[in-house]
Structure 1
Amino acid sequence: MVSIPEYYEGKNVLLTGATGFLGKVLLEKLLRSCPKVNSVYVLVRQKAGQTPQERVEEVLSGKLFDRLRDENPDFREKIVAINSELTQPKLALSEEDEEVIIDSTNIIFHCAATVRFNENLRDAVQLNVIATRQLILLAQQMKNLEVFMHVSTAYAYCNRKHIDEVVYPPPVDPKKLIDSLEWMDDGLVNDITPKLIGDRPNTYIYTKALAEYVVQQEGAKLNVAIVRPSIVGASWKEPFPGWIDNFNGPSGLFIAAGKGILRTMRASNNALADLVPVDVVVNTSLAAAWYSGVNRPRNIMVYNCTTGSTNPFHWGEVEYHVISTFKRNPLEQAFRRPNVNLTSNHLLYHYWIAVSHKAPAFLYDIYLRMTGRSPRLRNIRYGFNTILVILIWRIFIARSQMARNIWYFVVTHARQEIFIAESQAEHKGRRRREREREREEEEEAGGERRTKKGRVLLEARNWVLTEQRVKDDENHLPGRGLKCRKGCEVLQREAAAFSGDGVEGQRILPVITVHYLNLRDHLRGGPICQKLATFVWDSEISVHSVTSDSGEYLC
């Protein structure tokens, strides 16, 4: 059997969504790992006064392509930007471009979609369903097409307890829905949307389910494969660990938690956090297209690109690793020290919303008004509350669907290391540490810098919040009733002069307290030692042993 790079050698690839998060990574990986690919036709529309060529050039100039630029400086010659509008008949292609695509294309990767959870139903249908149908109609005319690869979502059938690698019947006939939306006004569409989507939480998931059915029915004569990723996050390994360029999905929540804005989430600690790195999704897509192209299976191939059934990771673990990361590497402009409380109890959730979100936001906005500035935190808090309560909690956090991965392993058995997609082989702790790089990229995208100053500011805030003074000769760690058997060494450090939340020239004693620890889980044995070790910064604290108030030896 030919290898993956050998299969793509001399092929002409058509790619949609190349300016999006997933499409960018797929484009970079394809050109870097399959350098003998002939051409990549990128369908891009004009936007904000930029031509398709200018938009593609902006993407190629980003940090994501640094490695590719070093290894293959002439990679731009293989990319052909084509002006196209996916929702229009024949994709609004010129006759010349249409002829080239029909005559030359061998493989299609359809990554374009709207990922806004609260998208208007009409717009979501146009971008996720009609655009897919238009691309299928074009694919049917292609003379040398080998594979049509469609990127969907593992949550398209979130109303099912178990999701197998098959296309399920849609909630409504897509053709009838498209015809109905043509004569409905916006008010009527908004009124019927809740009834149409039923037990699906938003229009994104609803229309992605419809799109899968369109691919199955309209593309019955094509060699079709569908990849269903779960929650796509920062890269695991390629092109380098932790790359991300947006605050969509979990990234925005992580940054909000790191800034101290997000302090509570309605989630179960034991619910699956089905996070999958973007490079794993890309490698699965490239390998799936290779498998379908080489083996020509009779039936449509569906791949659940998830981690829940192979490497389960839970929201309680996510909360611990995210918060510990930001406490080791605090943001410079944090609103409060990072701390997130997870609860699945409805009453407790609204209590913490009032105490940790609404009240601080209200008081801070009053302060902004008094100082002549525009209030903003209340709107930010409302936005996160909308996302968490209405859009995300019902599926991504509260529920624990099990998407079965069957063909996922078939695809991976013959790959080289450069197309690794087996996220079940990842060690959780190592994966979390590598994803600290994600924080750096997110901070860069938002204008934040993770610096030593940020750490000093966090220590200063903790000094004020805890109102505890640690002397050189004290023989205990304050807070939560934990004591050191042999004592703790707390070293004073002179803080550099800084402005902002601190006082210039103030002498700061780093106060690292047991208050940081999540003592609700696993007090005995190794975990408590590991959590204490998490907060050893530059050898400022040395913990010899820990006992409870009753004298029980913990570690």
Structure 2
Amino acid sequence: MTDKSVIREYFTGKSVFITGATGFIGKVLVEKLLRFCTGLDTIYILIRKKKGQSAEERLETLLQSKLFSFSLDVHKVRHKLVAIDGDLSVDGIGLKESDLKLLVRDVSVIFHVAGDVKFNETIRDAVTHNLIGTKYVMQLCRQCRRLEALVHVSTAYAFCQRSDLEERIYPMKVTPEEVIHAVETMNDTQLQNYTEPLLEGRPNCYTFAKALAEHIVLKDKPVGLPVAIVRPSIVLATYEEPIAGWIDNFNGATGIALLGSLGIMRIADYDADKRVSFIPVDMTCNALITSAWHMATARPPDVQIYHLSSEPHNTPPLVDVVESFVLAQQDSPSIKVVRPHAGVPHTRPSRLRLWMTILISHLMFAYFVDAIIWLFGYKPIMVSVTQRMHNGFEMLSYFWMKEWTFHSLNTRSLMAILRRHSPYDSQHFKFDVSIVDWNLMTKNSWYGGRRYLLKEDDDNIPKAKRRLTKYVLLLSTFPY
């Protein structure tokens, strides 16, 4: 195999603009571009001022992430990164005139990764963060003179009211412009009454806003601009790059699993036999970069949609995923464990057992622990953590209790095109979820969560094992 990389070759001398680079997917995307596309000229990163930090200061904070220390010498690539002060919720993205001129003059590829993944946000916030920002990005696209491709990150669940999903944009009852007008003119009560019937069975406003954003991309894209819409399913920690198991947030599946491993969560309302679709974050970013290369070089006339998801035939049932995670936790427990893991449920609990366990083993236990913490002079946190856990699981339960078929003809075609053009690139930009060893993936997710979220070194594993053994002995007679 030659080491010829058509992707590296394409990006040599090019400049890209990334929104959402401070988020989970965005960080991994920036790291991969810096590490692999070494000839890249400039990465312009849109960053909003926040908590007294300027865009430049937030970029420096971003680069302090452990992610950028595994395979990169940040000092050698720092000159390639330019912070662009802006805000996607503001007309014109809040760009200064000088920054706008830079982007219009230099940018060849735009990665629109930004989005607020909050399943409990109001329709106003969901539209502001996920739809209006996309509208302003499309306006920028029409101004960029050298733009060759736009890659828009959506979600596989944008049209989740359907169980069988093809790689196409489905019609909606309302247009993006109508919803934006409603957000701008209605009060919260009017807006809620207006949008409720428009969700069409979706569980939250986030998926609704992402679906509308796809429509605005389709409608507002400049004539002749190649556009890819990439739809990842539930995004997990890294599978391989730059290191296995890296993750930087407690959101979603990993956060719930970590709370269970610490003994905080004792019961869950989920269907053990359901097969939930996952995608590692590094594979997601490989697909983003590959789709940008393909859009810019092949220039397909129509918007290309790519599903990034595991399929039921190559995804283990949830119970197997949980068991693998628990085994990894038992092999290297956290020093922060508050009681032993409750075990792996193989059947869905009855409503009575569910609510009794939540009352006694979650809420009463949390208040008991907080009382002890308070007596020792520390700030109580267990009740707050438990409430957040319940809220998180309630928001995610829709996705645990259902199965979807995500057709991926376009995605498989993109893999084949990359293999044909560069076998080397097909090994360095993997996004074929069928190759994932899910047992290894879940184990690495635990190890990564332990190291990067719980901030624990491997050196304390023997001590953590001894502590867990004591807890097992002390609490063996207390089933809750």
Q: Given the two structures, how large is their TM-score scaled by the length of structure 2? A: 0.91
User: 2: distance between equivalents of 1:123 and 1:61?
Assistant: 29
1:384 to 379, 383, 389: 389
* Deviates further, 421-430 or 131-140: 421-430
Secondary structure in 1 matching 2:301: coil
Change (3 A) 1:442 1:252: farther
User: 2: distance between equivalents of 1:419 and 1:141?
Assistant: 30
Structure 1 match to 2:258? 255
For the pair shown, the structure with the greater C-alpha radius of gyration is 1
User: 1: distance between equivalents of 2:116 and 2:374?
Assistant: 37
2:162 to 160, 163, 169: 160
Structure 2 match to 1:35? 38
User: 2: distance between equivalents of 1:89 and 1:9?
Assistant: 32
Change (3 A) 1:23 1:449: farther
Instruction: Give 1:112's aligned amino acid.
Output: A
1:192-235 deviation per Cα after TM superposition (whole angstroms, max 9, x unaligned): 55444341111111111111111111116221101111111110
Change (3 A) 1:105 1:370: closer
Change (3 A) 1:67 1:366: closer
1:449-504 deviation per Cα after TM superposition (whole angstroms, max 9, x unaligned): 85321110100111223369xxxxxxxxxxxxxxxxxxxxxxxxxxxxxxxxxxxx
Structure 1 match to 2:137? 135
Structure 2 match to 1:464? 474
* Deviates further, 27-36 or 414-423: 414-423
Change (3 A) 1:51 1:372: closer
Change (3 A) 1:384 1:83: same
Instruction: Give 2:62's aligned amino acid.
Output: V
- Check conservation: 2:151, 2:288, Cα contact below 8 A: yes
Structure 1 match to 2:113? 111
- Check conservation: 1:246, 1:445, Cα contact below 8 A: no
Instruction: Give 1:393's aligned amino acid.
Output: S
Instruction: Give 1:20's aligned amino acid.
Output: G
Higher helix share: 2
- The correspondence of residues 95-494 of structure 1 with structure 2, limited to 5 A, is 95-219=97-221, 221=223, 222-309=225-312, 311-342=314-345, 343-345=347-349, 347=351, 348-368=353-373, 375-389=380-394, 391-394=395-398, 396-413=399-416, 414=419, 415-445=425-455, 450-466=460-476
- Check conservation: 1:227, 1:304, Cα contact below 8 A: yes
Instruction: Give 2:445's aligned amino acid.
Output: R
Q: CA RMSD in A?
A: 2.4
The one of the two structures with greater contact order (alpha-carbon pairs below 8 A, sep at least 6) is: 2
* Deviates further, 144-153 or 60-69: 60-69
Quote the offset at 1:423 in angstroms: 2.2
Secondary structure in 2 matching 1:453: helix
Change (3 A) 1:346 1:134: farther
User: 1: distance between equivalents of 2:437 and 2:380?
Assistant: 43
Secondary structure in 2 matching 1:106: strand
In the alignment, structure 2 segments of 5+ residues that lack a partner are: 420-424
Change (3 A) 1:376 1:196: farther
Percent same amino acid among aligned pairs? 31
Instruction: Give 1:297's aligned amino acid.
Output: P
- Check conservation: 1:125, 1:207, Cα contact below 8 A: yes
User: 2: distance between equivalents of 1:463 and 1:124?
Assistant: 48
Structure 2 match to 1:477? none
Secondary structure in 1 matching 2:157: coil
User: 1: distance between equivalents of 2:290 and 2:364?
Assistant: 50
Structure 2 match to 1:484? none
Change (3 A) 1:203 1:445: farther
Quote the offset at 1:370 in angstroms: 6.0
- Check conservation: 1:262, 1:357, Cα contact below 8 A: yes
* Deviates further, 329-338 or 226-235: 329-338
1:114-138 deviation per Cα after TM superposition (whole angstroms, max 9, x unaligned): 1111112112111100000101011
Change (3 A) 1:251 1:362: same
Quote the offset at 1:364 in angstroms: 3.4
User: 1: distance between equivalents of 2:308 and 2:209?
Assistant: 19
The number of residue pairs the alignment matches comes to 466
* Deviates further, 224-233 or 347-356: 347-356
Quote the offset at 1:323 in angstroms: 1.5
Structure 2 match to 1:79? 81
User: 1: distance between equivalents of 2:181 and 2:343?
Assistant: 46
Instruction: Give 2:58's aligned amino acid.
Output: R
Structure 1 match to 2:422? none
Instruction: Give 2:281's aligned amino acid.
Output: V
1:501-530 deviation per Cα after TM superposition (whole angstroms, max 9, x unaligned): xxxxxxxxxxxxxx9xxxxxxxxxxxxxxx
- Check conservation: 2:245, 2:441, Cα contact below 8 A: no
- Check conservation: 2:247, 2:453, Cα contact below 8 A: no
